[in-house]
Amino acid sequence: MTRRATTHDVARAAGVSLSTVDRVLNDRIGVREGTRRRVQEAIDRLGYRRDAAAAALSRDTFYRLLFLLPDRGSTFIRSIAPKLRETADGPEGMRTEIHTITVPMLDAPSLVTALDQVMPDAYDGVALVGTDARIVRDAIDRAVDRGVHVVTLVSDVPGSRREHYVGIDNVAAGRTAASLLGRFIGTEPGAVQVVLGSRQLRDHIERLFGFEQVLGTEFPHLDLLPVIEGFEDNDRTAEALQARLASSPDLRGIYIVGGGKQGVLSALRASGPPSLIRVVGHDATPHARQALMEGYFDAVLNQDPGHETRSAVRVLKCLIDGTPIHQDQERICIDIFLRDNLP
């Protein structure tokens, strides 16, 4: 086979014209059953595969997508906007117009307002970092009813009629963290500290759930100290942790569920060189990498923001086109980084 079959080849082989082939390919009406079968047979026989690039070129359609991103938040959250811009500049951005609106973080009413302004005559699809509130869920459903395609990004809004969630399985991430931390700590009894960003963030709650689940069943010799909620504020987190370090000499492990890594890091640094306290956190930000290299952190779970923005764009296009989503390709992995396999 020296070159791929084209629609011309199929048309010739089936003894029909190009447009008939096109009709069969795109399941359009107006083809006699016999003709359709002849064409289909030619397609199979020649091993014809549609040239997606040429198809997109000729269709000349534009996808209009809107991303609703928090105006601030953790280093990870803030990395999404630039990655989205890269995505828009890359191949997935072809024939695609991507707008971004920033919304106050953790402010459900603002998110609802933004969502309610998304009209199907301006946008074909919208991606949003979910805030878990009933009013948000309802606003998503209204948008879907209006004919706008909706996906959630990084943090899901279950119960809503969003058509897809782009992000990691946060319960599994919590379980993974517990598995790692538990094994790192070993069999001696001790205490474990969880540092949480905010209980309003669904992804953080889910991680905590998975973490407690595995720690309780598989590492019962480890005590869970009262959770520190740092509200993604590093100073506040550092202070609280420092107090805990002083009061709990049996502390053997820390799980940083969300923001506040830098706070944890400065508290640890203040209490001396890397000790026997094992630390697992999330998101391979520059500070986290540094902490891994220095030995203050032992492992970092990561979700690749570039993968996520690209997946969100691909999924929205599929939803708009009505073509199926490749679940396997769109699954966002929980990456584990140690000092030794940092990219």
Residues of this chain that interact with DNA (CB under 7 A) are: 3-4, 6-8, 15-20, 22-23, 25-26, 30-32, 34-36, 48-51, 54-55, 57-61
Displacement of CA 34 from its chain's centroid (Å): 46
Distance between CA 219 and CA 179 in Å, rounded?
A: 9
Find the shortest distance in angstroms from Cβ 43 to DNA.
10
Measured from the CB of residue 34, what is the shortest distance to a second copy in angstroms?
Answer: 29
163's contact among DNA, a second copy, none, with CB below 5 to 8 A by partner kind, is none
Nearest to a second copy of 44, 89 (CB atom): 89
Closer by beta carbon to a second copy, 262 or else 302: 302
Choosing among a second copy, DNA, none, which partner's interface includes residue 243 (Cβ < 5 to 8 Å by kind)?
Answer: none
- Tell me whether residue 228 or residue 288 sits nearer to a second copy (CB atom): 288
Tally the residues of the chain.
Answer: 343
Q: Which two tokens stand for residue 24?
A: 């069969």
CA dihedral over 107, 109, 110, 112, signed as positive or negative: positive
Q: How far is the CB of 14 from DNA (least distance, A)?
A: 8
Choose the contact partner of 322 out of a second copy, DNA, none; CB within 5 to 8 A by kind.
none
Instruction: Write down the least CB distance from residue 49 to DNA, Å.
Output: 7
The item of a second copy, DNA, none sharing an interface with residue 180, based on CB under 5 to 8 Å by kind, is a second copy
C-beta closer to DNA: residue 34 or 249: 34
Q: What is the 3-state secondary structure (H, E, C) of 167-192?
A: CCCHHHHHHHHHHHHHHHHCCCCEEE
**Residue written as tokens 């459903």?**
141
User: 207 or 244, CB closer to a second copy?
Assistant: 207
Residue 71 φ/ψ, nearest 5 degrees: -75, -20
Least separation in angstroms between CB 10 and DNA: 7
Nearest CA to 191 out of 180, 182, 204 is that of: 182
Cα distances from 121 to residues 65, 101, 110, 118, 210, in angstroms, run 11, 17, 22, 9, 41
Nearer to a second copy, 19 or 187 (CB): 187
Instruction: Tell me how far CA of residue 241 lies from CA of 221, 250, 261, 283, 284, in angstroms.
Output: 22, 14, 11, 20, 21
What is the smallest separation between the CB atom of 35 and DNA, expressed in angstroms? 4
CA distance 327 to 309: 16
Where does this chain bind a second copy (CB under 8 A)? 1-4, 49, 51-54, 56-57, 62, 89, 91, 94-95, 97, 172-173, 175-176, 178-180, 183-184, 186-187, 210, 214, 278, 298, 301, 331, 333-341, 343
